[in-house]
Structure formats: C-alpha cells, structure tokens
Amino acid sequence: MNQGRNLFRTLVLILGFAFLYIPIVSLIVYSFNSSRLVTVWGGFSTKWYGALLRNDQILNAAMLSLKVAAISATLAVVLGTLAGLVLARFGPFKGRTLLSGLTTAPLVMPEVITGLSLLLLFVTMEQIIGWPAGRGMTTIIISHITLTMAFVTVVVQSRLSQMDDSLEEAAMDLGARPHKVFFLITLPIIAPALMSGWLLAFTLSLDDLVITSFVAGPGSSTLPMVIFSKVRLGVSPDINALATILVAIVAIGVIVAGFTMSRQQKQRERDAQMALAANQQMIESVKKG
Amino acid sequence: MATSPRATQQKFEPWTDPDAKPYVRIEKVTKKFGDFFAVDDVSLSIYKKEIFCLLGASGCGKTTLLRMLAGFERPTSGKIFIDGVDMTSIPPYERPVNMMFQSYAIFPHMTVEQNVAFGLKQERLQKDEIESRVNDMLNLVKLGQFAKRKPHQLSGGQRQRVALARSLVKKPKLLLLDEPLAALDKKLREHTQFELINIKETLGVTFVVVTHDQEEAMTLSTRIGLMNHGEIVQVGTPSEIYEYPSSRFVSEFIGSVNMFEGRLVEDEPSYVRIGCDDLEAPIYVDHGVSSAPGATIWAAIRPEKITISREKPDATDNWTAAVVQDIAYMGDMSIYLLRLDSGKVVRVTQPNIYRHADDRITWDERVFLQWYPESPVVVTK
Amino acid sequence: MKALLKRAGLQGRSVVAAVPYLWLLLFFLIPFVIVLKISFSSSLIAMPPYEPLLHWTGEKVLQIKLNLGNFAFLVEDNLYWKAYLNSIWVASVSTFFCLLLGYPIAYAIARSNPSARNILMLLIVLPFWTSFLLRVYAWIGILKNNGLLNNFLIWIGAIDQPIQMLQTDFAVYVGIVYSYLPFMILPLYANLEKMDLTLLEAAADLGCKPWQGFLKVTLPLSLPGVRAGCLLVFIPAVGEFVIPSLLGDPGMLMIGKVLWTEFFNNRDWPVASAVAIVLLLFLVIPMMYFQRAQDAEAGGVHR
Ligand SMILES: Nc1ncnc2c1ncn2[C@@H]1O[C@H](COP(=O)(O)OP(=O)(O)O)[C@@H](O)[C@H]1O
Ligand SMILES: [Mg+2]
C-alpha cells in the first residue's frame, strides 16, 4: 500500500515536471534546427544565434530592458523594504490597512488595468506639471518599480515577521538609536531576503510586456515588446535562440546559487556538530565544578 | 569571596530600614492593551544590590512590567523612577538599564565578541577599552575561548552566557532578566542560579528577574514580588512569602498547602480558635487575627508541619483523625495523602529519617494528624 | 532638548512610512481616480484623445461634465458583456484545472523526503525565472498544425489528420494553466508542508483509512492554501492579454484583449477606461478577499 502511494507520487511528479519542462526543452532543441520551419528538423545548426547577434533591434531592446530592470529593481528594493518595515514593525496605525492593500493589490491586478491607469497618470501629469515629458525609459522605470515593489514588500514583510523582534529591542537596549538598529541589525539579517527580492524584481521587470506597452513611448521598445511583435506573426527561430540563451543564464544562476547554498548547508551542519560537542563539554565541566 | 553568597544575603535587608532610599521606584503603574489590564496599578520599591524576582503564572504581566522598566512599553498611567530620575518617557537606548531577553536575542550575524562589544561601541568608547572590557566580561562568564564563534556554533548554556555578558558589559545600574534560565536543562539551571548570585556579588549590580518557577525565585532572590492578573499580591523575602502568605492565592501558589475553611469561635487578642467542619477538633492559633466575627476565614497548614501518629492525642485542639489513602516514596521524604471523615484529602510530608523502618504507617491505616499552634496561617481572603 | 530629540525620532518614523506610502498613492491609487475620471469623459480626436472633465467656464465657475455614454455603450453593445462573461468563464475553468493539476503535485512534493523537497520546489519555480512570453511562445510550436503534439499523435497513429489546436479555446486553457501553475503550487505547498503529520497518525489511530484521513484532515486543513492559490490564478487570468492573443482564436472575446484593442487600435481612451473600471468592479471582491488572506498570512497585526 505504501508502495502504491510512492508510485502515485512519483508518477504525479514525472507528469507534472514533463508538463512544465517539455515546452522549454522544445524551445532549446529547435533553436539548433537549421530549418526555418521551426518544428521540422532540418539538421543541427547554430546559424540562428548568429542571426540573433546581428539583429540590432533585438540587441538594443535587450540593452534597454537590462538597464530598466537593474534600475527599477534597485529602487523597488529600497521602497519595498521601507514598506515591508512599516507593515511588519510599526504596529497598528491609521492608514495601515490602506498601505497593506496598496502593496498587495499590484500582485494580482490585471496588467491591462495597471498599464492603462499608469499611462493616464503620466499623460495627466505631463499636462499639469510638464513632467514626465513624453514617455520612455523614465515612465517605464516608474511603472516597473510600482509593480515590482509589491513583490519585494511581501518578501521583506514575511522575512521580518519570522525574525525575532527582540533582536532589534536588544540592540536598542544596548544603546543603539532606531536608525542604527536598522542598519546594524535588521538590514544584515534580512539581506538574503533583499537579494531574492532584487532578483525577483529584476526578472519581473525584464519580462513585463503589457504594462510596458502602455507606458513606453514610440522610441523605446523593450525586449518583450520586440519579441511579442515578432512572435505574433508566428514562430521564428532566432527567438528560440534568444530563449535558449535566457534559459542558459537562469540555469547557470541556479546552479551557482544551489552550489553556494549546499556549501553553506554543510558549514551549518559542521557548526551544529561543534555546538553539540561544546554542550557535552559544558555538561562535563558542570559535573566537575 | 570565601563567604557563601547566602550568608551575606541574610544581613542584607535594606527594605526594613526606613531611611534607605529605593533604587527603583514603580509608582501606580498601569498598562492597558486595548481594554485589557496587563499590569494593574503596581507600586514597588527595589533597593540597590537586590535580586528582586517577579514571580507569577504565565500571562500575569511579568514581562510587560519588565519591558516598562526597560523602556519598550510606556505605562498607560503611573511613573517609574530609577536612581531618583523619572524614566517614564525615556527611550530604551538612553536608560541606564540593560535587559537579558527570554530568547537571548543574540545577533546571529556577529561573533560572540562582536555581540558583547555591541553596547560599548554604541557608547563610542576607545577601541582598546572596548577590547579589554569585552575580554574581562567573557572571562567572567567563562567564554574566553569562544570569542570568535558565531552564535549558531554555541550550545544553549553558552548562548545564555553570551546574553548575560552582553547585558552586563555596559555596567548597567539595573539588569533585567526575563526568564533567564527557562531554556536550560535542570542541572545547568541549578548551576547557573548560583553563578548569577556570584556575578551579582562581584559586580554589585541590581537584578530584577522574571520567572514563573517558584523554586528559582526562592533560590535566587532577596525578595519576591508575586503577581496575579497584573497585580502584585504580595512582596516579601522567600521565607516571608512561604511562611506568612497574605492570602489563599499566595499560600497555594508557593509550595503546597492544606486549606481549611472555617470561622472564628473564640476571638481573643492573644489567640483564636477556629471551628472547621472538616476537622474533629478546632484549630487553635497562638496569635490574634483581625477579622469580622462570623466571617469565613481559612487556615493554611503546610504539609511538612503536620505529624502523623497512631495514638489518639489527648489535646482539645489541633488534631484530627484520618485514613491513609496513598503514599508516595520520594527518597528523602514520603508524601502521604490522608482522607478525613468529611472526605477532604490532606497532604502530609514526613522526612525519611530511618533507613529501615519496619513499623511504617501504611495504606488504609487509621491515624491521627497533629500540628503546633504556631503552624497554621490564618488568611481572610 | 529631550522633547526635540523625541520629535525627531517620531519624524524619522513618519518619513520612513511616508516614502512608500506617497509612492503608492501617486503611482497606484491616483491613477485609478484618473481612469475613473476619464471613463466619464467623451473621446476626441486629439492628444490626449478625450475631453477634459473639469472646465473653468468664464467667471471662475467650475463645471463638471459627466458623460455616462461610455458605460451605456458597454451595456448596449453585447460584445462587452460577452467578453466579460467569457473572461470570467475562461479564468474559472483554468483555475479549476490549475487546482486539479497543482494539488497532486504540491501534495507529492510536500510528502516526499525533506532533502528532495527544496530541489523539487526549486524546479517548480525555475520556469518562472525564464521569460513568461517565451514560455507561451513555446506552446505555439507545440500546438501548431504541424507542431510537436500533432506530429507525435500522427506518429503513434492516434490520428491521421492534424487537429486544429492552436487558435482554439483549448490552447488558451493550456497556456493559462501552464503559466500560472507555479502560483497555484506555491501556496498549496507552503500549506501542506507545514501540516503536522501526527494529525494523520492520530486520525489513523482513531480508525481512519488513509483516503478518509486525506478527506477529513488534510483537505480541510489545506483550504487556506487552496483559496490563496485559486485567487492568485483567477484574478490575473480574468484580465489576461498575452495568452489569448498568442494562442487563442483572433475572434476570441477576452476583456483584456478588448481593452487593449480599444486603447491601441481604436484609440478610444474613455471607453478603454470604462472597460477597466467595470473589470475592476468585477474583481474587487476577490481582491479584497485575497488582501485579507494575505494580511492574515503575513501576521498582519504584530505581537
Ligand atoms: N503587545 C501586546 N498587545 C496585547 N496584549 C499583550 C501584549 N503584550 C502582552 N499582552 C498580554 O498581556 C498579558 C501579560 O503578558 P506578559 O507580560 O507577557 O505575561 P508573562 O510574562 O507574565 O507571561 C498576556 O495576557 C498577554 O497576552
Ligand atoms: Mg513572559
């Protein structure tokens, strides 16, 4: 019976992961297809990678996207950390519910609505105060910050609510003023959460199509916008090549992260053993003493 | 340091001296969370070099009171003075007070050394002064060789010492400890109790300790403040609290006790007689009691203050008959549960003085219980 | 001096709270007010292509023109109604299939051995880190008439003519389920993983068969996870634009597509705004529900 359950579990996992990964694998395989008809195998070739590297439109869009993603992720981490801190540590205050609503709503808000509303805001602001003049990188960055800071807020808030808040009180008790407590205690402890928040924000920004399409001006096409306009017309092998490169980057990132994590894990296990031994020593000394 | 800490404590009783100035004064402090009174109109005086224990069941408001001393909570009303200075609205980072947290709250990203140095760095002291004070403190708590370790490389007992060292290194006027020993196992806990007393003697710091463990409070403290539902119900030395409880609650909270309900049948200034339906003879107490005539009162008698015998006493007071219902052998002593004719069960402890006692009192025997006139404590509430 | 310092401390706190607050008010809340405003305006051939709603007429008299025409238009033209209802239908069906697929996966991971769990969860969220657009695009290659799936089915002899799969509702369901599956699995897994397994042992000890234990203990306890997962899939799926435009029939009515078309192709900003407002009204209840769940999960009120 137990075996039956194990079998069921394995089967579910195999089917589930097949569903998740076959599309990605197919993208990669056909990026090396020399035939233009993506799904008809015409022999191995890397010519689409060459074509991709010669495609200025895609390269420019990729540059713009990377720039936007780096800037907006960084600012989103700053704003999201502040919001997470306020929600997790400032206790109940007037307007807390509104703030927490404003930070979670972008998580689920359909992007067409967010995009349209941001565009209308920018147009109105331009009419009233003359800024932002026209739409382009600035408006894209502002929009991406608004979208991604919600994710950072959630990550930071949940990390903070796991953190023992007597750590911060202890620092204050030892004479550190609130801002020092934040920089000396809170920030170092939640740093890993900030890192993953930044990566999340970066990825979301790099990936966003709908909101960006609303707020981007005519001269500023991001990578997803270029990809979308190309794939709308059907499959195109250089997009497969692009996808493969992206997957490779992510895979490398994950392997590196996994490697360092497992090293830290081993370190922790060693430390735990040491602590255990120390405990033993302590008990011995108490017995003697 | 040849004298034992207990010996010095016996002579140390500043609270009996009307001229002594309290070091910490808590005046009518109340803390409400919403409509809930976590601390309710508490007034306390704590003297220099005391180890003052706040004792009470979980949830009775001990931590909240301690956190108000540290400055993490503001009293809803009332004032707190430390060394004569009104501290009520001073933030924690400006108080001459340090706290050891129940969770220890050791900074996980710093080494033992950095943890202990943290408070001194906030005072912007010279580097070499910080270093020497940290070293001294680590040696005092016997952690010298662990200075470079990270907290997760330490055992529970070592963490407790780091937390202690970190809060002591700033030479606070007042050290607050929230359940300092609760996370340690029994052996280590007993050992550390005596160490805490030693450290207090060495450094001359005043301690306020929160605990829910009465044994711990008894061993550690110069005085105990017993709390219930946010109120202080009695303040006194461990023996005062044990021998002279002021209410049924106190006598039942500390140790075990047999409580007999009755009313005064004779009320003289030098003695009283209490009629009690559960007992065959009245209770005679060798001092006067202030109580309204006819009101219900209680006589509390500790289990070790009752003796068991087979012969019927020929006294008119302070005895009753009983049947042995249960005996628990504890090694150093035995606990007897005895059923009175009324059905009430009385608890009696007897030291096991003899190794082989062939003629021990045993199950279902009919026996007589007796106590001295000074043993019952009469309480009116 | 002390009071001054304290005031400064209090102000420091206010500044910390004010920065994200103002940002979100300016760039998230006010935009909705503007959308609302413009949904009541009428369209113009100009830039911006709508009539201002507030007018200073002569002697400092503020005139507010409310044009309900856009909303009337949404009611009269049954295209919009069909689009709203169809979007909700598509989102519901996709959410259902996401749950059907996601629950066993989350369950299987939560009950596999602890050292494998993290790796398996990593594999679940990994696709999320690669481009969403490209993953949807991958399905074009699979579902096409001469795509992978049809070729495979012909090769095993299940069919002899390719079936039309791309540009059907089926393709949209597949696309949504595929893209949003991790959002279903994550909260479910978080819930199932922290469940106390001795509860099941206790149930078994009291005479429950394993499947009864699942139905009577595991399933009810996992309902918060189910709820969070479903909302996380349903709400964004209602307004989905990319998946129906890449995989669905060009004539397929989804409200996200309608909004997009009104805005980009017809350049009718007031109607697009009215569409957004009505869509928001449809979603406001599930969103508040989600917000409440989220707040409870994050340990909203502290200590
Ligand atoms: N920040 C708070 N908000 C609301 N109630 C609280 C808060 N802190 C403590 N309490 C309540 O006050 C009571 C006393 O708590 P505490 O002082 O921690 O008790 P103790 O330390 O004696 O166990 C408890 O009932 C607790 O729930
Ligand atoms: Mg407590």
Q: Measured in whole angstroms, how far is the alpha carbon of residue B284 from the centre of its chain?
A: 30
Per the model's pLDDT, the better-predicted residue between A280 and C218 turns out to be: C218
Asked whether residue B77 carries a pLDDT value surpassing 90, the answer given is: yes
Nearest-Cα distance to chain B for C270, in Å, is: 48
pLDDT (0 to 100) of residue C302: 35
What is the best residue among B33, B58, B208 to mutate for testing ligand 1's pocket, by most ligand atoms within 8 Å of CB? B33
Asked whether residue C62 carries a pLDDT value surpassing 70, the answer given is: no
Asked whether residue B10 carries a pLDDT value surpassing 90, the answer given is: no
Rounded to an integer, the average pLDDT of B194-204 is 84
pLDDT (0 to 100) of residue C215: 84
pLDDT band for position C288 (cuts 50, 70, 90) = confident
Does ligand 1 have an atom closer than 6 angstroms to the CB of B107?
Answer: no
Q: Any residues with CB less than 8 A from the CB of A272 and at least 6 apart, and which?
A: B152
Does ligand 1 have an atom closer than 6 angstroms to the CB of B91?
Answer: no
Biggest CA-to-CA distance, chain C: 89
Ligand sitting nearest the alpha carbon of B65: 1
Asked whether residue C115 carries a pLDDT value surpassing 90, the answer given is: no
pLDDT (0 to 100) of residue A275: 60
Torsion C298-A204-A71-A119 (CA) sign: negative
pLDDT band for position B267 (cuts 50, 70, 90) = confident
Lowest mean pLDDT among A164-178, B98-112, B335-349, B353-367: B353-367
Does ligand 1 have an atom closer than 6 angstroms to the CB of B33?
Answer: yes
3-state SS track over C206-264: CCCCHHHHHHHHHHHHCHHHHHHHHHHHHHHHHCCCHHHHHHCCCCCCCHHHHHHHHHH
Domain(s) labelled CATH 2.40.50.140 in chain B stretch across 257-379
pLDDT (0 to 100) of residue A273: 67
Among chain B residues, the shortest Cα distance to C303 is held by: B33
Separation in Å, CA B268 to CA B265, B285, B317, B370, B376: 10, 10, 16, 23, 16
Give the Cβ contact number of residue B288 at 10 Å.
13
Domain boundaries, chain C: 1-76+267-283, 78-252
C187, with CB counted inside 10 A (0-12, 13-18, 19+), is buried
Asked whether residue B5 carries a pLDDT value surpassing 70, the answer given is: no
Domain(s) labelled CATH 3.40.50.300 in chain B stretch across 5-96+172-248
Can you tell me which atom of ligand 1 is nearest the CA of B64?
A: 17
Ligand sitting nearest the alpha carbon of B62: 1
Nearest-Cα distance to chain A for B98, in Å, is: 6
Residues B103/A164, Cβ–Cβ less than 8 Å:
yes
Among chain A residues, the shortest Cα distance to C211 is held by: A5
Pick the closest to residue A94 from B319, C21, B280, B185 (CA basis).
C21
What is the complex's ipTM, to 2 decimals?
A: 0.84
pLDDT (0 to 100) of residue B233: 93
Per the model's pLDDT, the better-predicted residue between C196 and C51 turns out to be: C196
Q: How far is the CA of A86 from the centre of ligand 1 (A)?
A: 22
Distinct helix (H) and strand (E) counts, chain B: 9, 20
- Quote the CA–CA distance of B330 and B250 in Å, as a whole number: 25
Q: Which is the CATH superfamily of the domain at C78-252?
A: MetI-like (1.10.3720.10)
Torsion A189-A192-A198-A204 (CA) sign: negative
Fold of B5-96+172-248: Rossmann fold (3.40.50)
CB contact under 8 A, A85 and C16: yes
Among chain A residues, the shortest Cα distance to B142 is held by: A282
Of C30, C129, C147, the CB nearest to A39: C147
**Average pLDDT over chain C, rounded to whole?**
83
pLDDT (0 to 100) of residue C51: 63
Per the model's pLDDT, the better-predicted residue between B187 and B150 turns out to be: B150
pLDDT band for position C301 (cuts 50, 70, 90) = very low
Asked whether residue C10 carries a pLDDT value surpassing 80, the answer given is: no
DSSP, residue by residue, C84-117: HHHHHHHHHHHHHHHHHHHHHHHHHHHTS-HHHH
**Average pLDDT over chain B, rounded to whole?**
88
Per cent of chain A over pLDDT 70 is 90
Count of positions (residues) in chain A? 289
Rounded to an integer, the average pLDDT of B233-239 is 92
Q: Any residues with CB less than 8 A from the CB of B242 and at least 6 apart, and which?
A: B218, B254, B255
Q: Is CATH 2.40.50.140 correct for B257-379?
A: yes
Can you tell me which atom of ligand 1 is nearest the CA of B230?
A: 14
Does ligand 1 have an atom closer than 6 angstroms to the CB of B59?
Answer: yes
Asked whether residue B246 carries a pLDDT value surpassing 80, the answer given is: yes
Lowest mean pLDDT among B56-60, B149-153, C281-285: C281-285
Of A91, A99, A105, the CB nearest to C302: A91
B145 contacts chain A (CB < 8 A): no
pLDDT band for position C55 (cuts 50, 70, 90) = low
Nearest-Cα distance to chain A for C278, in Å, is: 11
Q: Which of chain B's residues have a Cβ under 8 Å away from the Cβ of C6?
A: 89, 91
Rounded to an integer, the average pLDDT of C281-300 is 73
pLDDT (0 to 100) of residue B7: 46
Pairing of strands B258-267, B272-275: antiparallel
Fold of A55-280: MetI-like fold (1.10.3720)
Separation in Å, CA A110 to CA A239, B154, C9: 26, 49, 39
Interface of A with C in 169-208 (CB under 8 A): 177-179, 203, 206-207
Biggest CA-to-CA distance, chain A: 83
pLDDT per residue as tens digits for the range C180-213: 999 899 999 989 988 888 888 888 888 888 888 8
Q: Which of chain A's residues have a Cβ under 8 Å away from the Cβ of B107?
A: 167, 170-171, 185, 189
Among chain A residues, the shortest Cα distance to B165 is held by: A174
CB contact under 8 A, C126 and A250: yes
Q: Which of chain A's residues have a Cβ under 8 Å away from the Cβ of B166?
A: 170, 174
Per the model's pLDDT, the better-predicted residue between C163 and B30 turns out to be: B30
Count of positions (residues) in chain B? 381
In tens digits, chain A (289 residues) has pLDDT values of 467 778 888 999 999 999 999 999 998 988 888 877 766 777 788 888 888 888 889 999 999 999 999 999 999 999 999 999 999 988 888 888 888 888 888 887 889 999 999 999 999 898 888 888 888 899 999 999 999 999 899 889 988 988 888 999 999 999 999 899 999 999 999 998 898 889 889 989 999 999 999 999 888 899 999 999 988 877 788 888 998 998 888 888 877 877 777 777 677 666 666 666 655 555 455 444 4
